[in-house]
Amino acid sequence: MDDIDELLSIRAAELYYEENKTQEEIGHALQLTRWKVGRLLTQAKEQGFIRIEILHARARRLPLERRLRDERGLADAVVVSRAGVRSPEELQERVAQAAADYLTALRPVPRTLGVSWGRTLFDVSQHLRTGWASGLNVVQINGGVSLNRRAGTAAATAVAIAHKGGGSATLLPSPAILERLETKVAIESDRVVAGVIDLARSADAFLFSAGAADHRSVHVESGYLSEADVDLLVQKGAVGDVVGRYVDAQGDIVDPSLDARTVGLTLDRLRQAALAIAVTSGESKHAVTDAVVRSGLCTVLVTDEETALHLLDG
């Protein structure tokens, strides 16, 4: 592009985007054909003279989604804009809404959806509209019974998703992590618990989030782990947890003894799934999100644009 065309491209872009002129009006003003105006606008985009940003809470970053599919091997990706976000909580709400939108648009709708729990998935359940699916069966894929104020979150998430999807929920009546291995073995041998885990293994699709390995973890808040426990896991290389199982940057289990006391679906089952949707947001989850994608734990990622850029360029 020579200097004259560059100046004409800029002028055409100004008239088109800032003055709302039609290409025909621009051609008349600049004494150019309508075809030439169209070409100048295309050149302006190609040269980076124009940046279009859609400022809406449900806007998506389609070029980043395309790169995640092409460069990180995902079947699909949803990347939301951070424009106008003022807090991590607001960003999480935006990503949860995007996940709810993605679930609503799924075709065919899964017969059985396996779901984990936590703050992010609870938000997803709240953003789903009633009637988003019909006859959906939801099964909880990891234990979530606790004795403090987090109690009920796991059940509430599964029940809300199922109720709004016109179906029923099957809950896993167990804590996420047991203190003693023999207790965990006994619980998973119980006929009811074993039946729920078998149903979880056979789900058509899975929906889960990932937690950072820090003191704000829901596992600390729920009383399963102490802050010192988390510090020790970090020393062993943990970057976060997926369905209650702590992994390193490669997606490998960092503490086999802890993992053996964790109730629910194994990570190998997620890796085998035809549809496994991970929902994450925020800088604190960059490392664990990278581990999830790197190790094939999800086929679909719903996240924010900074996390996407970390995965692509970090």
Segment-wise mean pLDDT, segments of 10 residues, the chain, 314 residues: 78 88 92 92 86 67 93 96 87 95 93 94 95 95 72 82 96 92 94 95 96 92 91 97 96 96 95 97 97 98 97 88
% helix, strand, coil for the chain, step of 5: 50, 15, 35
Token code pair at residue 230: 């988390």
Token code pair at residue 9: 């491209």
**pLDDT for the residue numbered 50:** 81
CA distance 72 to 85: 26
Where does the chain hold its CATH 1.10.10 domain(s)? Answer: 3-46
Q: Which CATH number fits domain 62-313: 3.90.550.10, 3.30.750.24, 3.40.190.290, 3.40.50.1360?
A: 3.40.50.1360
**pLDDT for the residue numbered 146:** 66
DSSP lists the bridge partners of residue 303 as: 79
**pLDDT for the residue numbered 151:** 41
Residue pointed to by tokens 């002129």: 21
**CATH code linked to domain 3-46:** 1.10.10
**pLDDT for the residue numbered 10:** 85
DSSP lists the bridge partners of residue 206 as: 114, 276
Helical axes 305-313 vs 286-294, angle rounded to 10°:
60
DSSP string covering 178-245: -SSHHHHHHHHHSHHHHHHHHHHHT-SEEEEEEEESSTT-HHHHTTSS-HHHHHHHHHTT--EEETTE
Task: Tell me whether strands 112-115 and 137-140 are parallel, antiparallel or unpaired.
Answer: parallel
